[in-house]
Amino acid sequence: MKQFLIFFVIFLFTQNLFAQVNEADTTFVNNTDSLKSLDWIADSAYGVFRTERFSSMRTFFHSYATYKEMIDTSMAGDQTEYTQFVMYNTRWNYLRIQFGRMIKKIHKQGIEWKYTELDTVYFKTGQDQGINYAYIHWVIKVKNKKKYTLSAVALEIKNNWYIMDELKYEGLVPEPKTAKGKKRLKIKIPDNIKTQN
């Protein structure tokens, strides 16, 4: 009985490990021309946020083969295959943690996705050591009233953009206030016009 239990635990562990390998390695998922467009990435990622399913983020995460090509040009190219895959999987799981934290903060604010719409998206792009990067900022509107900001960092690898890091909820967008000492204009309604309350 004890040997059966040990065998069963090993079986569950290997199944879990296999699932992580398949989930993280997106070799056959993200071979698309759409990844060349930051606008497409931003629009589609907002759709994924609304579903709250992290597994759908695979589309915006580079494959293991792409990761290996990227690091072969650096000192990390000397690492063993196992170490490289562990590092790759660690990046994927770190993005999972960020996604979970972002969703948790959104729930804490009482935001329901069905009442949201994408108001605006803007990018801050740059280059560091020959690699193009972009900060993506999503401004979402809730019930046509309050606006909130979400953000992430995307990197351009082999002419495709991938969401890599700093996926987070940034908070409420402050509304402009009227200057102190100035009164808001009141509209005077003529007596002959009926108003509805």
pLDDT reported for residue 192 = 45
CB 184 within 8 A of CB 158: no
pLDDT reported for residue 186 = 53
From start to end of 129-176, where are the E strands? Answer: 131-142, 146-157, 160-172
- What sign has the CA pseudo-torsion 36, 40, 42, 44? negative
Tens of each residue's pLDDT in the chain, 197 residues: 565 555 554 555 444 444 444 444 444 445 567 888 899 999 999 999 999 999 999 999 988 888 887 776 555 556 778 888 888 999 999 999 999 999 999 999 999 999 999 999 999 999 988 889 999 999 999 998 899 999 999 999 888 999 999 999 999 887 766 556 555 555 444 454 444 44
| DSSP bridge partners of 160 | 157
pLDDT reported for residue 147 = 92
| DSSP bridge partners of 153 | 135, 165
pLDDT reported for residue 84 = 83
Question: CA–CA separation, 108 vs 103, rounded Å?
Answer: 9
pTM: 0.71
pLDDT reported for residue 40 = 93
Question: CA–CA separation, 54 vs 163, rounded Å?
Answer: 13
CB 117 within 8 A of CB 141: yes
pLDDT reported for residue 10 = 55
